Amino acid sequence: MIAAGKVALVTGGASGMGQIFARRLAASGAKVAIFDVNEAGLRQTADADNITAFHCDIADQEAVTARVAEVEADLGPVELLVHAAALMPAYALADHSHENMEKLFRVNFFGTTYLCRAVLPGMQARGHGRIIVFG
């Protein structure tokens, strides 16, 4: 999936599919950065070798830009983005408040665009890189 020693960034890395992806990438020798807002899950996942945790609210464009820059300064250029962070409400759309819908879009839509826009220029400059977005 990614060569040993290369950098993968996994969002939602504190639980679920993001955590599974992060652990598998780290086990294959990748240097893995994980983003999440779940502090306990970040610490638990980062207990594995080759995983570095970064608290990041992906709905905050400035935070995403700053954390991606921090990852690249600490670990190297991001070769693979696995974007698994998302809100998945388990109730009917009619039961959503307007505020909840805005939060859902900030995380699920804008968070995706913020992350892609943060890593894509470096990938384009290097002529390679991959982005996997869970839907």
Domains of the chain in start order, with CATH, are 7-133 (3.40.50.720)
pLDDT band at 2 (very low <50, low <70, confident <90, very high): confident
* pLDDT at residue 89 in the model: 79
Go through 43-58 and write b for each residue having 16 or more CB atoms within 10 A of its CB, e for each that does not: eebbeeebbbbbebbb
Q: Does the pLDDT at position 90 exceed 80?
A: no
58 in Cβ contact with 39 (< 8 Å): no
pLDDT band at 130 (very low <50, low <70, confident <90, very high): very high
* pLDDT at residue 6 in the model: 97
* pLDDT at residue 135 in the model: 77
DSSP run (H or E) holding 130: strand 130-133
9 in Cβ contact with 56 (< 8 Å): no
Burial class (CB in 10 A: 0-12, 13-18, 19+), 24: middle
pTM: 0.94
> What is the per-residue pLDDT across 103-126, written as a single tens digit (0 to 9) for each?
989 999 999 999 999 999 999 999
Specify the higher pLDDT residue, 63 or 88.
63
> What is the per-residue pLDDT across 43-68, written as a single tens digit (0 to 9) for each?
999 998 999 999 999 999 999 999 99
When the pLDDT of each residue in the chain is averaged and rounded to a whole number, the result is 94
Euclidean distance between CA atoms 8 and 15, whole angstroms: 16
Name the one residue in this structure whose structure tokens are 């990748």: 30
